[in-house]
Structure 1
Amino acid sequence: MIQTVLGPVEPAQLGRTSTNEHLLADSRHLRRPLRGGEWWDGDVRPDNLGDLRWNWLASADNLHLDSADVAVDELERAHADGLRAVVEATSVGMGPDPSRLPDIARRAGMHVVAAFGSYIDKTLPESWKQQSDDDMRAVFSRALSESIPGSTVRAGLLGLMGTSADITLAEERALRAAASAAAEAGCAVSIRLDAAARRGPEVAALLASEGLDPHRILFCNIDKVMDAAYVHDIVDTGAVVEFAFGSENYFADGARDATDGERIAFLLALCETRPEARITLSSSVWTKGQLARHGGMGYGHVVRRVVPVLERAGVPSSRLERMLVTEPAELLDRG
């Protein structure tokens, strides 16, 4: 069975699934100044989307998904495009609000699976880091068996677990606690890897050392590091890798997202060289500028636009079914 925010469902009921989305989140603490060093207080509007895409972390408003009504409307658009389920992966450090997810799922007619985890060290409250290892593991276990803290919602998996380029003590402790709890519960763990490092196989080995089956590991946003040898090494551990489409933004002068064209080319090559690679897809919406109402691609971008491109490129329907339906369902199914 798969645990959604409205209760368990059979894997066959899930349908086309995005494995890493955010419906309600607060990442304003990640805000950065404009390239010239000055601060920008602008809201997300069509007339300033160009400035925003040039400096994606400059606007506090962009980094705050705070409206249940907007989430419902955006999910309804995605449902019309053929998306049937999303994993809501907002973890501690990103302002999660799981108590509002059941109402959103019910109104939108979308399966919503809530993840519970802890993000990168610099986002975490001291109260989280000061827990003992046993207490941290107990929190993860209760989220899976009873409810996520502050809500009556049961988590369907653990994540999004964050790692910095140099994995900190707090991050490693959380990874080990989550892996141990997930192994006992028979559920998955999703991971966000820092693009500045190549730690995927290392993290997979760490999780496995705590008893977690590699088939229960999901490395989200793998397109942040499109290094074929590195991604092959991750795939060869047995873990699932996720490609997130739709964001093509700059983060000041030194970093930018890949384009969807680059992501598609890399995905096609991976399918050719690793035909058994376990792959899922998402839009990884976590900011207002990614929403359709603000000129972004929205939660339905993969099924609306990316899948037709993959079909025209010759990806068999059976392979697309695996990426969109089978792999997510197998990853989330707790038996």
Structure 2
Amino acid sequence: MKGKIQTVCGWIDPASLGKTLTHEHLVADFSCYWSEPSWHAPHLDNVSFTMDPENLGFIKQYPYNFLENLNFHGEENHMVEELNFFRQNGGSSIVECTTLGISRDVGKLKKISMATGVNVVCGTGYYTANTHPSNMDSLTQEQLVSTMVNDITRGADGTDVRCGVIGEIGCSWPITDNERKVLQAAAIAQSETGCPVIIHPGTHTDSPAEIIRILQEAGGDVGATVMSHLDCTFFETEDVLEFASLGSYLEWDFFGVEVSHCQWADIDMPNDAMRIKMIRQVLEEGHADKVVISHDVDTKHRLMHYGGHGYSHILLNVVPMMLNRGISQEDINKILVENPKQWLVFK
């Protein structure tokens, strides 16, 4: 396995990875984020998901109040359309971070990859505590390691489709006992297989550093680990730079989200211009070899079919903005090609 990247269709040479989105979802169910509406809009009473023009503004503002908006199963044809468009615009690979607990289906991922020619790297492990299996308390660390290693070396979900990344491993703030157990198991599975890791941290400035400490103590490879969702974790450049010194990859992955209201945390979400500004500052401080970006599409309304930005937004819109804001083409190539390649290679 060493020196190769594992996709749902098998091993590939790192040189063939190309432009890569490091954190996306193609087949998943995020109903764990559903909540009762906190607003009153009589014309939307009892509506689960309709994309009529009069509803679209509410769905963009409150995406997690619409249950059907949170389920990608049944959208496979639209995903093929999306990824064909992504490939036409220079995209080559996607890391699909759906784990156990949010309705992973590696068989569907393989079909989508084969239909489009886009490399798909799928994940193993467990998401946040509210999605854990009912018997998680009784599962041992050794059992969790065995599940992850099996997904990587033999095949996931009863198939021969093997996972090429551990994660996204879900952590809350404060981290729960079972999330800590999963995180430690992920570190052990990484040390046994050489597989890269990607983390979903809690929405607190201290969460990423705590996770890194737990990973290191359990024998994980921080240098082969991506810390996701920095858009909603760090809001001051000094905090990002302090965390960057710990050595993980730094991921801004909500590109395309331009609504400041966040339904699942008491934070103000940045827009794309603010993300680019912070990334430029991090690059200027010498961390170009550790930055990756993505969209983390987890709702239907963000798909092009439903009027959203889709998976090509970074290539079509963000890259020109980055160039216009003084980020060099060399650094963009690192962010989209070289850094994902270095991270995804089995060690």
Instruction: Give the TM bin, normalised by the shorter chain.
Output: over 0.9
Following superposition, the deviation at residue 150 of structure 1 comes to 3.4
Equivalent of 2:176 in 155, 159, 168:
168
1:118 CA drift (Å) = 0.7
Q: Which residue of 1 aligns with 2:76?
A: 68
| TM-score for the superposition, normalised by structure 1 | 0.95
Q: Which residue is equivalent to 2:60?
A: 53
Residues 1-335 of structure 1 aligned to structure 2 (within 5 Å): 1-36=4-39, 40-47=46-53, 48-66=55-73, 67-225=75-233, 226-244=235-253, 245-249=255-259, 250-252=261-263, 254-276=266-288, 278-335=290-347
CA distance in 2, matches of 1:114, 1:295: 26
Relative to structure 1, the CA distance from residue 129 to residue 296 in structure 2 (aligned partners, 3 Å threshold; closer, same or farther) is farther
- Of stretches 269-278 and 110-119 in structure 1, the one that deviates more from structure 2 is 269-278
Greater Cα offset, 239-248 or 254-263: 254-263
Q: Which structure 2 segments of 5+ residues have no match?
A: none
1:315 Cα offset (Å): 1.5
Q: Which residue type is aligned with residue 222 of structure 1?
A: L
Deviations 1:214-266 (A, max 9, x none): 11110112111223222212211110011121112334495443211111111
- Mapped to 2, the partners of 1:140 and 1:147 lie a distance apart of 10
| Structure 1 SS opposite 2:65 | coil
Q: Cα 1:324–1:46, aligned 2, differ >3 Å: closer, same or farther? A: farther
Query: What is the Cα-based RMSD across aligned positions, in Å?
Result: 1.8
Equivalent AA in structure 1 for residue 14 of structure 2: P
Q: Give identity over the alignment, percent.
A: 27
One-letter amino acid matched to 1:63: L
Task: Report the secondary structure of 1:57's partner residue.
Answer: helix
Cα distance change on mapping 1:255 and 1:53 into 2, 3 Å? farther
| Shift in Å, 1:149 | 2.9
- In the alignment, the residues of structure 1 paired with residue 211 and residue 284 of structure 2 have an alpha-carbon distance, to the nearest angstrom, of 25
Residue 175 (structure 1) shift: 0.2
Contact kept? 2:289, 2:334, Cα under 8 Å: no
C-alpha contact 2:94 2:120 (8 A) present in aligned 1: yes
Deviation at 1:41, TM superposition (A): 2.9
Aligned partner of 2:293: which letter? L
TM-score, structure 2 as length reference: 0.92
Deviations 1:147-197 (A, max 9, x none): 123332101010010111100001000000011111111111100112234
- 8 Å CA contact retained: 1:161, 1:191: yes
Q: Provide the rounded CA distance (Å) in 2 between the counterparts of 1:37 and 1:140.
A: 44
Please tell me the residue identity of whatever aligns with 1:101. L
C-alpha distance in structure 2 between counterparts of 1:46 and 1:106, whole Å: 33
Question: Between Structure 1 and Structure 2, how many residues are aligned?
Answer: 335
Contact 1:41 1:60 in 2 (8 A): no
CA offsets 1:287-309 (integer angstroms, 9 cap, x no match) = 10110111111111111110111
Q: Render the CA deviation track for 1:17-50: whole Å, top value 9, x for unaligned.
A: 0000000111113211112379753314151220
Q: Which runs of 5+ in 1 are unaligned?
A: none
CA–CA separation in structure 2 for the residues paired with 1:122 and 1:197: 21
Partners of 2:149 and 2:328 in 1: how far apart? 39
Contact 1:201–1:233 (CA under 8 A) maintained in structure 2: no
Decide whether the 8 Å contact of 1:44 with 1:289 is kept in 2.
no
Instruction: Return the alpha-carbon distance in structure 1 between the equivalents of residues 321 and 288 of structure 2.
Output: 21
Measure the CA separation in 2 of the matches of 1:81 and 1:59: 31
Cα 1:128–1:83 change in 2 (3 A) is: farther
Quick one: which amino acid aligns to residue 133 of structure 2? P
User: For the structure 1 residues 297 and 267, does the alpha-carbon distance in structure 2 shift closer, same or farther, using more than 3 Å as the test?
Assistant: same
